[in-house]
Structure 1
Amino acid sequence: MVLTLFGIYGGLRTSKMTDWFHRNHLKATAKYTFDVGAVAKDLSCKTLCSDAAKRRVELLKLISDPSVPCEAVITSLNRYLQLLMGFVVATDNKTPFSKLRGLVCVKWCDSIKPKGEPIVSEDEAKDVHLSLKTAAGLFNLLRTKYMHEFTEFVPNSDMDPNILDAYINQSLAEAQEITVARAIELKHKPYLIAGLANETAKLYEKCGLALTQCNPKIVGKWKKYSEFKQFCYESYAYVYYGEDLLEKGKAGQAVAILKEASAPYEKAIRAAREYTKVEGVSLSTKPPDHCFFRRLPGLIERTHNKCERENGLIYHQKVPSVAPFLEIKAEYGIAAPKEPELNFELDPRWKDAYVGFDTSKVVENILSNSKNSKDHKHSGTKDEPVEPVREMPIFSTDKDPKNDSGCVIS
């Protein structure tokens, strides 16, 4: 259950963004009351169970609202973990796991009205950037440290290693998009912008490759989004690399590079069209309508004309028939996963309350719940479905931003 919560948090906090970013549905979970029946003998035990249920409800409510600060979610998460861990680890450290571990069995599904502002606030950009790196950190923590504890592997689920790899790479790529936009706004050197755009394209390529291993009926839309972003940033990388070559007096090579910039742009257009038609369970977004992408063809044409003009008037260099290979790497601004400070220390009340649980009845309780579940199925009655998360709506602005990058934060 703790691991599932990591996945929930990591995915949800990336929802504070515009239609430019793709995401899956919020991971929903059924209501859980922590009612352990006769296992909880003492009042202190029942109080702990009741508090755990309340904190779970509070946490899930915060997660569904993109306007809630990340710090508030982390605080609520840590308060819940302190109670939840009593059902996971032993309080006396004599055994690796709590004897109450099998009692907690929750049900969830796979994932698979703040108004957008036309002006990007630096604080908002930093918040989104941190949220995305934190999301990547949580997915990476789950992927590298906790995957081996799972007793069952379900392909195409949130816990599928390929899905987790896709989440990690997409979160980092979207974090780097913030860096690219900032570099454009601050008019950094073209070589730096080209390197960042190229690294971002590579991350989206890795995301798409991970999704290739999954069922296209589930991740098809997600994969096309990754392809769209990959080609979009490849095109930006070509444009700014051409600018860099021109600054270095290599006008002929710059012209050749700019001729190549249109190819990935056309691929991005095709991927965007396929995105609207392909199957997938994720939420639809509108990346080709975003100002950042709509400005790209004009940027390609202007930069190409500039390189042609400068070469014709000043440099008179031969244009290579084959463009230089895009061997550029960003020296600064590369996003890395950031693990949040999670508190796995037990709530102090567990030390005294643990002895109040009748561990001899744990197996009986589990078997009873299992029997009730089977009887429920044999009766022909369907299990109560997991209710989808009621998300707070995110409205995007209909105004183009008056900045160089064309990016907005909602």
Structure 2
Amino acid sequence: MTDWFHRNHLKATAKYTFDVGAVAKDLSCKALCSDAAKRRVELLKLISDPSVPCEAVITSLNRYLQLIMGFIVATDNKTPFSKLRGLVCVKWCDSIKPKGQPIVRSDSIFELYSVLFNVALWYTKHAAKVASNENVSEDEAKDVHLSLKTAAGLFNLLRTKYMHEFTEFVPNSDMDPNILDAYINQSLAEAQEITVARAIELKHKPYLIAGLANETAKFYEKCGLALTQCNPKVVGKWKKYSEFKQFCYESYAYVYYGEDLLEKGKAGQAVAILKEASAPYEKAIRAAREYTKVEGVSLSTKPPDHCFFRRLPGLIERTHNKCERENGLIYHQKVPSVAPFLEIKAEYGIAAPKEPELNFELDPRWKDAYVGFDTSKVVENILSNSKNSKDHKHSGTKDEPVEPVREMPIFSTDKDPKNDSGCVIS
């Protein structure tokens, strides 16, 4: 099985030591900052490996959240945000522009946003890693399904809670709401794919399979529409991937809707529907060809080579012939010149975003350590960071890309699964 999922890069970041200078007056403050730096390094190292268990990543993330939140929320609850919010000056690259100009902000929420974004990306990569195995167990399939919904939950959290905290909109970046919408819908669509494969494997009613496939296509359509608002030179490959998957699942929806109509004795309409099934398949072929040519980033993806897609034309032909044969021998119904509209909705199995159990409670040490920070010097520290940034820009180093994350590669099996769906996950 070759790679079926389009994946962007993890966000790269420069090393940050949480050295806040004279703002930290005593040892308890410096110790807390030192621990924050260590936990940041530990988390970033952990998510470079997609095979790590989800529990380990969430544990590491929560340990870091308990410290970084002290720079965000006020310990006395008298103000919306901590006076230390601007102390954390970090540099992050975008997942869609790994070699592009990094974004630098003196903002703890930007750090929180970027870390949660990276963990969401890790969940998508973890799902792809587990799905790459030759034989995927039922528990592993559940892991993939949950991981993709969790990724959608984290992206949705950023979209609904933290996106509006930024005063500056950065188009064609990970801070672009269109990019978040694309990630949310792609994650849900891929989770939905597992449901479709399982429904096929368990031989559920054709109407249910058609509805699930149709809903999956709609998720991919929403992903593509969000990416339409972005620069095609940045997201070109990603958009073609969403189009490929959209048309692939539209075609599957037509096939199983035709099966459903035939079961209900509507053979003439079934024949008309099956004639339509080839149109989205041909569109998927074109999108796959364009995927290899357009600009944009991707980590070695070859979705048209996947068994699930390669089996589609044969499925269309067999089902079409079956409907023609049954109509000719039994029903003798007139085939409509216009196929029935694909008005099918899944009643069950629709994927929804799911947030992991995040711990935003402050580390107990913050209660005593906060008073050890000299908040009167925060502005001075921020101005100093700003001056250093300008000096770096003048010297030509500020906008240099940070070193890309050395991600552990995901290797897929080349063996086709011996089942009905053509998917190892079902």
Q: Distance in 2 between matches of 1:206 and 1:275?
A: 18
CA drift at 1:267:
0.5
More displaced, 380-389 or 31-40? 380-389
**Does the 8 A contact of 2:244 with 2:287 survive in 1?**
yes
**Does the 8 A contact of 2:92 with 2:103 survive in 1?**
no
Q: Does 2:152 match 1:136?
A: yes
Q: TM-score, normalised by structure 1?
A: 0.91
Gaps of 5+ in 1: 1-16
More displaced, 382-391 or 80-89? 382-391
Q: Distance in 2 between matches of 1:371 and 1:44?
A: 28
Secondary structure at the residue paired with 1:107? strand
**Does the 8 A contact of 2:101 with 2:400 survive in 1?**
no
Give the length in aligned residue pairs.
394
Q: Distance in 2 between matches of 1:366 and 1:313?
A: 81
CA drift at 1:376:
2.8
CA drift at 1:75:
1.4
**Does the 8 A contact of 1:19 with 1:286 survive in 2?**
yes
Which residue does 2:11 correspond to in 1? 27
**Does the 8 A contact of 1:18 with 1:409 survive in 2?**
no
CA drift at 1:282:
2.9
CA drift at 1:321:
1.3
Which residue does 1:395 correspond to in 2? 411
Aligned in 2, Cα 1:301/1:103: closer, same or farther, shift over 3 Å? same
More displaced, 384-393 or 198-207? 384-393
Cα offsets for 1:279-315 (capped at 9, x unmatched): 1123341010000000000000111111111111111
CA drift at 1:257:
0.8
**Does the 8 A contact of 1:134 with 1:337 survive in 2?**
yes
Q: Distance in 2 between matches of 1:148 and 1:383?
A: 25
Q: Distance in 2 between matches of 1:18 and 1:63?
A: 23
Cα offsets for 1:100-153 (capped at 9, x unmatched): 111101110010099999999211111111111111111111112222111110
**Does the 8 A contact of 2:97 with 2:234 survive in 1?**
no
Secondary structure at the residue paired with 1:106? strand
Aligned in 2, Cα 1:107/1:115: closer, same or farther, shift over 3 Å? closer
Aligned in 2, Cα 1:18/1:235: closer, same or farther, shift over 3 Å? same
Cα offsets for 1:86-110 (capped at 9, x unmatched): 1111111122221211110111001
Counterparts in 2 of 1:354-365, with a 5 A limit? 354-365=370-381
Which residue does 1:166 correspond to in 2? 182
Aligned CA-pair RMSD? 5.1
Cα offsets for 1:142-183 (capped at 9, x unmatched): 112222111110011111111111111111111100100010
Which residue does 1:14 correspond to in 2? none
The structure 1 segments of at least 4 consecutive aligned residues displaced by more than 6 Å after TM superposition are 113-120
Aligned in 2, Cα 1:262/1:384: closer, same or farther, shift over 3 Å? closer
CA drift at 1:264:
0.5
CA drift at 1:384:
5.0
Aligned in 2, Cα 1:262/1:217: closer, same or farther, shift over 3 Å? same
CA drift at 1:327:
0.6
Aligned in 2, Cα 1:331/1:115: closer, same or farther, shift over 3 Å? farther
Identity of aligned residues (%): 98
CA drift at 1:81:
0.5
Aligned in 2, Cα 1:52/1:170: closer, same or farther, shift over 3 Å? same
**Does the 8 A contact of 1:118 with 1:397 survive in 2?**
no
CA drift at 1:209:
0.8
CA drift at 1:256:
1.0
Q: TM-score, normalised by structure 2?
A: 0.88
Gaps of 5+ in 2: 105-136
